[in-house]
Structure formats: C-alpha cells, structure tokens
Structure 1
Amino acid sequence: MENRLSIYAPQALALLRIVTALLFVHAGMVLLFNVPASTHPLPPPEMKPILLVAGILELAGGALVLVGLFTRAAAFILSGMMAVAYWGFHAPMNMWPANNMGSAAILFSFIYLYLVFAGAGAWSLDARRVRASGP
C-alpha cells in the first residue's frame, strides 16, 4: 500500500501548497482590505506599517505559491516572515504556542520551509516552465 500512495506524492505536495497559499491569501486580504471583515479588535496604530508589509507579502507571496510560480523563492521569504512573526510577536507574550496564539505562525513557517526544498509539486506553473524548457 505504501508504494501505491507514494505515486501520489507530487499531487499531495501540490494540495499542501494550494491550501496553505489560500489561507495566506485570505490573511493578506483581511490585513489589507478587511475582507471578509475581521472580528478581532483593531491593532494599535504603531502596528499598522508592519501589518501593511505583512499583508502585501501574504497576498502577493501567497498568490505566487498558490499558482506555483517562483515557489521556492516566495516560500523562502514567507517562511522567514512567519519566523519573524513568531519570535518577534508571539513568543514574547508567552513561552508556549498554545498560549501565545503562535501555532499557525510556526506551522506556516515550516510548511513554507519545506516548500523551499520540495518545490511546488504537480499542478504548478513552475512545473510547466520546466517542461516547456525541455531537456
């Protein structure tokens, strides 16, 4: 059974990439446009510039990862962004991820780090570019 499942690893990787990117695009839309409207309290004014940068990276980087274009480079940047988010904002609140609301930042950081090494998988513009360039 293990061999039969391994055949679908490129498609499973693509699904991981697509779902992760959709969540990131959604987060960027909330930060930049408040769409859909957030129920969280508004951030303090001094956080607005960094949240604007985060929203742009989440929307643009998430869109690149979603379609699988320049996946490794985009994932590298997004992995670092999420590491900074965790260590700069979540960890100082509390040592434990469940108590500092940082679990998602850790997961995003490591999923994107994995994509740096694994690439986009199936159903990506990166794969299409490689096929188009030929042997």
Structure 2
Amino acid sequence: MTLRIIPQRFAPHAQGLLRIAAALLFLQHGTAKLFGVPHVAMFDGLKLISLLGAAGVIELIGGILILLGLFTRPVAFILSGQMAVAYFLFHAGKAFWPTLNGGELAALYCFVFLFFAAAGPGAFALDRE
C-alpha cells in the first residue's frame, strides 16, 4: 500500500503547474536581459548580438512556449541544454559545489526542463498529448 498525500489522478495537474511556474520564473531572465524588466544592473548595455543576448532571446521565446505548453518537449530539451551550458561555462569553474559557485538555479532549471522534455507538458498545455 502506498500512502499518497495527493491522489495520482492529479499528477498531470501538478506537472502542468510546475511547467507554468518554471516558465514564469525563467521568463524573467529573458525579460531582464532584453528589456531591463526586472532591472538587473549586470545586463545594462547588453548587446543583442552577444552570448548573453542570444541567451536572452532563447529564454524569452522558450519561456513563452513552455508557459503556453507549445512544442514543450523539443523546447524543454533546448532549454535544458542551454542551462547545462550556462552552468559549465559560467559557474562550474568557480567552485565544485553549486551552492558555492552560484549555479544552483542553472542546474535546477536544467533538470526541470529535462523532465519536461521526457515527460511532456502535463495539464493546461495548448498542445496536450
């Protein structure tokens, strides 16, 4: 006998809510880079034709698609890869542990998006499977 706090039939709903919450949080990275909202001083004067500019475009478009649940699996796979690259390019060289190198969020996003690439969008998606 398995003790379930939330019945299994609600798993797609929880999955959909996780997708929406992750997308809304992820979108902020793209809007901060491209539009300055919310303002992050590090992104002041960011050039669109740069590594961070390209990341902002991917975060904005990918975040919107994940939020809507459109092309979830391929988009999530791309975003997972982007976050893996972000982790190893900008964080891993500073220290071994993500807590020390500032890469916790990149690592977590990487695995959350990898989950959606494998499992699909869950409930509340425009392209439900």
What one-letter code is carried by the residue in structure 1 that aligns with 2:98?
P
How far the C-alpha of 1:114 sits from its partner, in A, is: 0.3
Distance 2:46 2:12 in 1: 43
Distance 1:45 1:73 in 2: 27
One of 10, 13, 22 as aligned partner of 1:11: 13
The answer to whether the aligner puts 1:100 opposite 2:82 as a matched pair is: no
Paired-residue identity, %: 46
What one-letter code is carried by the residue in structure 1 that aligns with 2:124?
W
Aligned to 2:38: 36
How far the C-alpha of 1:43 sits from its partner, in A, is: 7.5
Q: Secondary structure of 1:99's partner?
A: helix
Structure 2 residue runs of 5 or longer lacking an equivalent are none
Q: Secondary structure of 2:39's partner?
A: coil
Relative to structure 1, the CA distance from residue 89 to residue 7 in structure 2 (aligned partners, 3 Å threshold; closer, same or farther) is: same
Q: Secondary structure of 1:24's partner?
A: helix
How far the C-alpha of 1:95 sits from its partner, in A, is: 1.0
Q: Secondary structure of 2:50's partner?
A: helix
Distance 1:55 1:66 in 2: 16
Structure 1 residue runs of 5 or longer lacking an equivalent are 131-135
What one-letter code is carried by the residue in structure 2 that aligns with 1:114?
F
Aligned to 2:123: 122
How far the C-alpha of 1:45 sits from its partner, in A, is: 7.4
TM-score normalised over the length of structure 1? 0.86
Relative to structure 1, the CA distance from residue 99 to residue 70 in structure 2 (aligned partners, 3 Å threshold; closer, same or farther) is: same
Distance 1:90 1:58 in 2: 18
More helix per residue: 1
What one-letter code is carried by the residue in structure 2 that aligns with 1:126?
D
Deviation string 1:49-86 (CA, Å, 9 cap, x unpaired) is 01101000000000000000000010000000000000
One of 19, 22, 25 as aligned partner of 1:23: 25
How far the C-alpha of 1:112 sits from its partner, in A, is: 0.2
Aligned to 1:76: 77
Aligned to 1:63: 64
How far the C-alpha of 1:96 sits from its partner, in A, is: 1.1
Task: Indicate conservation of the 8 Å contact 2:24/2:67, yes or no.
Answer: yes
